[in-house]
């Protein structure tokens, strides 16, 4: 199956309760041959309305971070743990994440075969590193998952809530992390 065929199939998904409240299935977008895949948590209101990942405020910050590091957004593949917006932007529940990743994200990864995956925030990082991890401990470190390098980073929505740029702040650490990521891509 191709990525397009998988995306088309996902549009009709009703495998979990998140299907009830969604407007659009936000499958993911970007270069199907990407070296780097970015994985967020799930669509928010803007993504649900537009059917594209990371197009709201957090997405605009993600764009600025990628641009500042010299990583074109089009060169990356961007997806989420869950493809449908959780009501009120709550975190996806464990069963929703399990069902959705089993049906879609795992297959996206198999088809794209990125060298590096950067999960953003704890929900995404937990999929690759296990439930017990804390994003503040794992961000900016390299891990391995099924032969793919995993480089967790803070979620841009978290950076929006913590705008300080002081040394050691989440924003300052993210600037260091994105440069480390860029260095590995070169
Ligand atoms: N937050 C996410 O985790 N994913 C999106 O696509 C948008 C906001």
- The burial of 100, by beta-carbon neighbours within 10 Å (0-12 exposed, 13-18 middle, 19 or more buried), is given as buried
- The burial of 5, by beta-carbon neighbours within 10 Å (0-12 exposed, 13-18 middle, 19 or more buried), is given as exposed
Residue 158 pLDDT: 98
Angstrom distances, CA of residue 157 to CA of 23, 54, 82: 22, 10, 16
**Centre of ligand 1 from the C-alpha of residue 166, in Å:** 25
- Per the document, the length of the chain is 186
Q: Using the 8-state DSSP alphabet, how is residue 53 labeled?
A: S
Atom of ligand 1 nearest to the CA of 120: 3
Check whether 186 has a pLDDT greater than 80: no
Pocket-forming residues, ligand 1, beta carbon under 6 Å: 40-44, 47, 53-54, 56, 58-59, 80, 157
**Centre of ligand 1 from the C-alpha of residue 83, in Å:** 10
State the pTM of this model: 0.98
Check if the beta carbon of residue 46 is closer than 8 Å to that of residue 59.
yes
**Centre of ligand 1 from the C-alpha of residue 38, in Å:** 10
| ipTM of this predicted structure | 0.93
Q: Other C-beta atoms within 10 Å of 138: how many?
A: 21
Dihedral angle of Cα 156, 159, 163, 166, to the nearest 10 degrees: -120
Mean pLDDT value of segment 157-166: 98
**Centre of ligand 1 from the C-alpha of residue 11, in Å:** 18
What would the pLDDT profile of 13-61 be if each residue is shown by its tens digit?
A: 999 999 999 999 999 999 999 999 999 999 999 999 999 999 999 999 9
Atom of ligand 1 nearest to the CA of 53: 6
Residue 106 pLDDT: 98
């Amino acid at each position: 199956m191709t990525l397009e065929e998988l995306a088309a199939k996902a549009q009709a998904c009703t495998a979990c309760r998140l299907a009830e409240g969604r407007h659009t299935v936000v499958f993911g977008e970007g270069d199907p041959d990407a070296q780097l895949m970015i994985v967020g948590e799930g669509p928010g209101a803007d993504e649900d309305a537009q059917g594209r990942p990371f197009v709201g405020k957090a997405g605009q910050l993600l764009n600025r971070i990628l641009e500042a590091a010299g990583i074109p957004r089009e060169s990356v593949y961007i997806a989420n743990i869950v493809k449908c917006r959780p009501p009120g932007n709550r975190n996806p529940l464990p069963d929703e994440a399990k069902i959705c990743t089993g049906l879609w994200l795992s297959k996206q990864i198999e088809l794209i075969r990125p060298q590096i995956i950067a999960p953003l925030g704890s929900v995404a990082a937990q999929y690759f590193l296990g439930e017990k991890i804390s994003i503040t401990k794992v961000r900016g470190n390299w891990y391995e998952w099924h032969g793919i390098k995993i480089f967790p980073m803070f979620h841009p929505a978290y950076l929006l809530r913590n705008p300080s740029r002081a040394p050691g702040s989440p924003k300052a650490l993210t600037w260091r992390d994105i440069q480390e990521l860029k260095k590995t891509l070169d």
